[in-house]
Every structure is written in structure tokens, then in C-alpha cells.
Homo-oligomer: A and B are copies of this chain.
Amino acid sequence: MPTALSTDLYEVTMAAGFVEAGHGRGTFDLYVRTLPETRSFLVAAGLEPALAHLEAVRFTAAEVAYLRSVPALAGLPAAFFDDYLARFRFTGEVWAMAEGTPVFANEPILSVTAPLAEAQIVETAVLAIVGFQTSIASKAARVAAAAAGRPAIEFGGRRAHGTEAAMWAARAAFLGGCDATSNLDAGRAFDIPVSGTMAHSWVMAHDDELEAFRRYADRFGEHAVLLLDTYDTCAAARRVVSSGLTPAAVRLDSGDLGALSRDVRGILDGGGLRGTRILVSGDLDEHRIAALVAGGAPVDGFGVGTALSTSNDAPALGVVYKLAEVERAGSWVPTAKSSPGKATWAGRKQVWRMRAEGRDRVGLRDERGPSGGHGLLHCVMRDGTRVGDAPALADRRAACLEAVAGLPAGVRRLEDPLGYQVEVSDALRALSKAAMTR
């Protein structure tokens, strides 16, 4: 169950201050300040899980009792614990991009308008959920593109940041364009196709390799994928051919995968196993996959672990949650900060995508969008309750693949990509300047 205690101490101290002062609402934008060097676009993810968190988040009685015991909170009035925290609910409004939407630096992925105390208490969790899943979906989009139509399967649960992260990473990888996952927890929770082969331990636990292959093939038939590299990959391939087994697929997990896939293809074809597919795995990422594809390696699918489940070349995004306006005495006042390298934009925003022109505009929600521009932010939660049903993940995955394919080719390419133009509207610029010089 989501707990409101998934937060930083300062969120609670600030909340206490805001509650005490009878402060009104604020609007916070969640966005990525700059893209990692190795990303030319991101794929928004984690929005639906974040909304689920916001709908369900509470403090249990035991958690409230813990908070009373925290030294920094000791001087707070009893009412803050008994009335506010014990009855805590998120009651705000959320605008967000649809999951699977390509997104760029400084574009709000999600925007929260809520009583300041509520908006603060949920900040840490919303950032962790959206930032993490966006990083994985963004990596997955690159991996799926590199695989060039061949299946890319998420195998990274064992290297994820714990078992919960493994499950969410599998979801984000599927959303970003992968075809399946090995993770059963994710398969069940999100109705993602699950896929698997065999481990070296299966082969090693048997007296000999052929016996291990035969027993697996007998048991799992068309689902059996035989792992060839426990001892000697080509010898194992020859063993499969001479055994009379007709496995659906084999897997290569070490060595020079390009050369070995060619050798194994030759051995299989020579033995009449033209229908047996070759899967490869072993520290793959989008660059290694692209090299195998470019080299014409006869590979029918890719199992990708660590690179997908941790987005290992960019394991965190510079995701922030910044106050853009605040309610004072019943009216909304735009806010911005001017910290070096960390300045912010004021006001409630919209992001328009001009697909034909291959650029975006960030502006104020109530200004007229550019012609041909399509607004990406929609109201998805009102009074703490989701608006409409959550879309099916498979539909969002399909929409993601289409939207990524619609980005300019130069932006999408893996190596030396072009930048994508995100312009800021004059109205947003003027409002932010006014807010900073107030």
C-alpha cells in the first residue's frame, strides 16, 4: 500500500508551516531540467502509477505516532498530527501527459494544483515514481529502435533496484517499446507477455548438456529455448543438431555474439534446423544491438537486462517539482526562482507539439496554442480522483511507438542525434520575468 511516509522530512515540516498559516494552494510542475548526455528525447512514464499513489496515499496511525517521535517535529501542535496527518488525503488537481509521450527538457510532464501542504507531502514519491519510470521507458525506446523490429525482451529484474523496481522497470520497458519481460510479477500486474529461456544452472545440474537439453525440450516443447554457452557454444549447437531435437530457439549469452550467431546459424541450418531461432543476451544495450543488426548478425531476438532495468548510462533524470504559482488571499500569484543554473518558469503551463514542424512550444495554459500545435497536458485528476479510466498499457505502448516514430529522424538516431527545438512562448517568458523581479 502506498504510504504518505514515502517522503522527505522537510515536506512534513513545510506542510506543518503551511497548515498553520492557513496557506492556500500552489501549482507545482514536474519536469526534467536537462536531458542526460546520452538521451535526445525521453518517454513520459509512471503517470498512471503516480495517480494511483495520489488516490490511495495515507498515513497509518502507527506512522503518525512515529512522526510525533521525530525530534524536528516535536514542537508542532497536536492538531497537526491528530487532525491533519491522521486524515491526510490528496485532494488536488493533476494535469499530465499521457504515458508513452515523447518529452523534452523543461516540459512539464505533470502539474499538480493542490493545497500547498498536500502538494509538498506527495512531492518525493511522485518524483521518484515518474522520474524512475520515465528513465526506463526512455531507455527502452532506444533499445526497441535498435532492435529494428526484432523482439527485445526485458530480462533485468535481477539487476533492478530491488523487487518493486524490477516490476516497475518491466512495465516501463514494455511501455517504451519492448515486447515482453521475464518478470512474472510484472506479467501478472500489468498483463505483459512473459518470456524465458533456461539458465546455466539447468545445464550444470545435469550429468551432461544433451540430457539437460532433452529434458527441457521434452517438458516445454515449443516454449523451450536451449542455452548453448555453458561450456562451448558451437559444440552445443552441434549436439542439438545431432540429437534430433527441434527446439524453437537457442540462446547465446557470452562471447562474440555476432560471430557466434553466424556459426550457430550455419550449424543449425546445416542440420535442417532452419526454423530454430537464435536469441542473444549478455550485457546488451542499444549500441551493441545496433552493431549486431548493422553487421547482419542472424539474430532473431534480444534479451536485455541491466541496461533496461537500471537505464545504466543514465540511471536518474534531473527531475524536479517546482512551484509555479501560489494562491495568496484568494488570488493566484506566479512564482519563479533565479538560482544559478536552476531558474524556473512561472504560471500554469501547456506544451504544444507541432508534429509537422518537429518542434514544441511551452506556454501558459490559457494562451492560444500555435497553429498545428497539439496540447500534450490534460486534466487527469480532479479533487483527488482520477478523471476517466486508466488507458490500457498495450494501447499506450502502441501510441508510444507511433509518437517516437513521428519525431524527426535526426532526433531519434542513437549516435550524435540532433537537438529538438522547444520554444518558450512570449507570454510565459514575460510572466516569469515579472515573477522573478517582483
Contacts and interface: CB of A to CB of B under 8 A. Distances in A.
A18 B215 CA distance: 10
A196 B13 contact: yes
Nearest to A28: B201
A169 interface: yes
User: Copies of this chain, how many?
Assistant: 2
B3 A185 contact: yes
Interface stretch (A151-159, A289-297, A410-418): A151-159
Nearest to A165: B161
B9 A182 contact: yes
A17 B199 CA distance: 12
A194 B70 contact: yes
Interface string A160-183: 111111111100000000000011
A358 to B, nearest CB: 30
A44 interface: no
Most chain B CB atoms below 10 A, which of A128, A169, A229, A436? A128
Nearest to A126: B158
Interface in A1-44: 2-3, 5-14, 16-18, 20-21, 23, 26, 28
Give the interface centre of A71, A204, A229 by most chain B CB atoms within 10 Å. Answer: A204
A219 interface: yes
A385 interface: no
A243 interface: no
Contact of A17 (B219, B321, B328): B219
A72 interface: yes
B158 A160 contact: no
Given A230-B339, A254-B340, A199 B7 contact: no
A310 interface: yes
Interface in A120-172: 120, 123-125, 127-129, 131-133, 155, 157-169
A132 B116 contact: no
Nearest to A230: B337
Interface of A: 2-3, 5-14, 16-18, 20-21, 23, 26, 28, 53, 63, 66-67, 70-72, 75-76, 116, 120, 123-125, 127-129, 131-133, 155, 157-169, 182-185, 187-188, 194-205, 207, 215-216, 219-221, 223, 229-232, 253-255, 306, 309-312, 315-317, 319, 321-323, 326, 328, 335-342, 436
22 contacts: A3-B163, A5-B188, A6-B157, A6-B184, A7-B157, A7-B185, A10-B196, A13-B216, A13-B223, A14-B201, A17-B215, A26-B205, A116-B205, A132-B160, A159-B319, A161-B161, A161-B165, A161-B169, A161-B310, A162-B164, A162-B168, A230-B337
